[in-house]
């Protein structure tokens, strides 16, 4: 059994494709695959990536939401929350289309999804790349207390920047939507991209500029910036622990994005510049890496970013406390559930209160006397000796003798 997708492409181009078409490629996933293994294994892998990645990104968004609600937000956290939202869109809306395509081997989702599948996926990928590049201009300091409102008002530039990023991300992949069409193949249909010959020169130039502007330049500049910043912080800053950790997290995110999206962008440019068709296995591997990148980003945040890891512990702490409260015979958890340090402080307070109570009891015991002795000493204290009365009359009796 072999994967013969591009043999089928050559067959289609020789029989049914117009001679004026200068470019031909599948959209929405590789179709016309042969072999039962590819029909079952690839959709299962995609679904597994989608489920795990969606859970991770939802947890990351919940943690960032709690931080902003508790007044511990920052510009970098706002952009990372936007990145997590974009990853969630990729995993929930783009990846399932590929899973259905690999399972059906032909296109069954209609003309609208055919026209917008690759366009929307490229929008999300480009937006994610530009958002990570924008984090180089964001502040990493956390604002607390009354400064949060002023900080959010001063960081309104982030909203404008995100709007501009999404506009650019939606405009660049427009050719992916314009040249998409359904092509009959026997009793079935396939979703393909056909570039007419009159637009071949312009599209050839466009497909050289598009990956460079939206992938190569942002990734290289972001990785170079964070590498230099990390080096300066480690060598020049007096206390670089916290700041260098945040920079290291952003460097890992940018480097992971560049490495895992390189096969996707490489095959995309390779096909559209008119070179020989790459193997179908390479195309499938590139698409799987794209979705795995969206699933790996929250893992990096939760393992390397101290604030996100602490927020994950807090959520787990709250969930376990609520479960223990519903179970009879278990100890109740402290009411302060903001973070682990507050819970630890509550435990110390309980211990301190117990120690103080024991100390008070000991002091009361020391001051308290037994009832009989108290009566005896009270009687002795109230006894008064009259002046005329001799307290020791037996001494006078001895003298008289």
Q: Indicate if 117 and 187 belong to the same structural domain.
A: yes
Q: Indicate if 185 and 121 belong to the same structural domain.
A: yes
CATH number where 285 lies = 1.20.1070.10
User: Is-contact 291 91, C-beta < 8 A?
Assistant: yes
User: Is-contact 150 1, C-beta < 8 A?
Assistant: no
Q: Indicate if 112 and 239 belong to the same structural domain.
A: yes
Predicted local confidence at residue 333, as pLDDT: 57
Predicted local confidence at residue 392, as pLDDT: 57
Q: Is residue 314 part of a domain?
A: yes
pTM: 0.74
Predicted local confidence at residue 148, as pLDDT: 47
Predicted local confidence at residue 199, as pLDDT: 80
Alpha helices in 135-216 (DSSP H): 147-154, 157-171, 174-178, 200-211
Q: Indicate if 49 and 120 belong to the same structural domain.
A: yes
What are the distances in angstroms from CA 37 to CA 1, 15, 222, 355?
A: 9, 29, 39, 67
Q: Indicate if 315 and 344 belong to the same structural domain.
A: no
Alpha helices in 273-339 (DSSP H): 280-304, 306-326
What values do phi and psi take at 180, rounded to 5? -85, 140
Q: Indicate if 256 and 370 belong to the same structural domain.
A: no
Q: Is residue 400 part of a domain?
A: no
Alpha helices in 19-89 (DSSP H): 36-69, 75-89
Predicted local confidence at residue 353, as pLDDT: 57
Predicted local confidence at residue 15, as pLDDT: 37
Q: Is residue 398 part of a domain?
A: no
Identify the residue whose tokens are 């001063």.
154
Q: Rounded to an integer, what distance in angstroms lies between the CA atom of residue 293 and that of residue 259?
A: 9
State the total domains in the chain. 2
User: Is-contact 307 67, C-beta < 8 A?
Assistant: yes
Q: Rounded to an integer, what distance in angstroms lies between the CA atom of residue 207 and that of residue 394?
A: 130
Q: Indicate if 269 and 346 belong to the same structural domain.
A: no
What are the distances in angstroms from CA 135 to CA 35, 130, 175?
A: 44, 9, 28
Q: Indicate if 16 and 50 belong to the same structural domain.
A: yes
> One digit per residue, pLDDT tens: the chain, 401 residues?
334 444 444 444 443 444 466 667 888 888 888 877 788 899 999 999 999 999 999 999 999 998 888 888 788 899 999 999 999 999 999 999 999 999 999 999 989 999 999 999 999 999 999 999 999 988 776 655 444 444 444 467 888 999 999 999 999 999 888 888 898 888 889 998 888 878 888 888 999 999 999 999 999 999 999 999 888 877 776 555 566 788 899 999 999 999 999 999 999 998 888 767 788 889 999 999 999 999 999 999 999 888 888 888 888 888 788 656 555 555 555 544 444 444 444 445 544 555 555 555 555 555 554 455 555 455 555 555 555 555 555 555 544 44
What values do phi and psi take at 70, rounded to 5? -90, 5
Q: Is residue 392 part of a domain?
A: no
Q: Is residue 50 part of a domain?
A: yes
Q: Half-sphere exposure of 172 toward its Cβ, with a 13 Å CA cutoff?
A: 24
Predicted local confidence at residue 162, as pLDDT: 94
The boundaries of the domain holding residue 222 are 5-319
Q: Is residue 32 part of a domain?
A: yes
Predicted local confidence at residue 5, as pLDDT: 45
Q: Indicate if 349 and 280 belong to the same structural domain.
A: no
Q: Is residue 114 part of a domain?
A: yes
Q: Rounded to an integer, what distance in angstroms lies between the CA atom of residue 82 and that of residue 230?
A: 23
Q: Is residue 373 part of a domain?
A: yes
Q: Indicate if 285 and 195 belong to the same structural domain.
A: yes
């Amino acid at each position: 059994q072999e994967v013969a997708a591009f043999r089928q492409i050559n067959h289609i181009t020789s029989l049914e494709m117009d001679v004026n078409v200068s470019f031909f490629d599948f959209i929405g996933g590789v179709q016309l695959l042969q072999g039962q293994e590819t029909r079952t294994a690839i959709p299962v892998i995609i679904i597994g990536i989608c489920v795990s990645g969606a859970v991770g990104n939802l947890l990351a968004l919940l943690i960032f939401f709690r931080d902003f609600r508790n007044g511990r937000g920052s510009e970098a956290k706002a952009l990372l929350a936007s990145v997590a939202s974009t990853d969630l869109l990729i995993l929930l809306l783009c990846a399932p289309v590929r899973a259905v395509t690999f399972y059906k081997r032909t296109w069954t989702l209609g003309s609208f999804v055919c026209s917008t599948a690759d366009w929307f996926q490229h929008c999300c990928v480009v937006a994610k790349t530009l958002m990570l590049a924008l984090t180089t201009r964001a502040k990493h300091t956390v604002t607390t207390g009354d400064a949060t409102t002023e900080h959010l008002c001063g960081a309104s530039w982030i909203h404008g920047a995100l709007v501009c990023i999404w506009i650019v991300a939606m405009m660049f992949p427009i050719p992916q939507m314009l040249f998409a069409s359904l092509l009959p193949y026997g009793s079935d249909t396939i979703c393909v991209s056909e570039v007419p010959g009159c637009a071949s020169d312009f599209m050839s130039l466009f497909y050289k500029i598009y990956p460079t502007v939206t992938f190569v330049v942002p990734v290289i500049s972001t990785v170079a910036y964070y590498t230099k910043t990390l080096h300066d912080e480690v060598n020049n800053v007096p206390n670089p622990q916290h700041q260098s950790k945040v920079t290291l997290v952003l460097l890992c995110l940018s480097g992971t994005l560049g490495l895992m999206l390189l096969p996707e962008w490489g095959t995309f440019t390779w096909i559209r510049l008119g070179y020989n068709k790459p193997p179908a296995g390479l195309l499938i591997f590139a698409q799987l890496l794209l979705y795995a990148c969206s699933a790996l980003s929250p893992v990096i945040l939760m393992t390397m970013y101290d604030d996100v890891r602490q927020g994950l512990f807090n959520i787990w702490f709250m969930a376990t406390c609520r479960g223990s409260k519903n179970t009879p015979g278990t100890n109740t958890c402290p009411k302060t559930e903001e973070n682990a340090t507050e819970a630890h402080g509550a435990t110390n307070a309980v211990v301190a209160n117990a120690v103080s109570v024991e100390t008070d009891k000991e002091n009361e015991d020391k001051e308290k006397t037994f009832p009989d002795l108290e009566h005896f000493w009270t009687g002795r204290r109230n006894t008064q000796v009259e002046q005329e009365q001799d307290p020791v009359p037996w001494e006078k009796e001895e003298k008289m003798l």
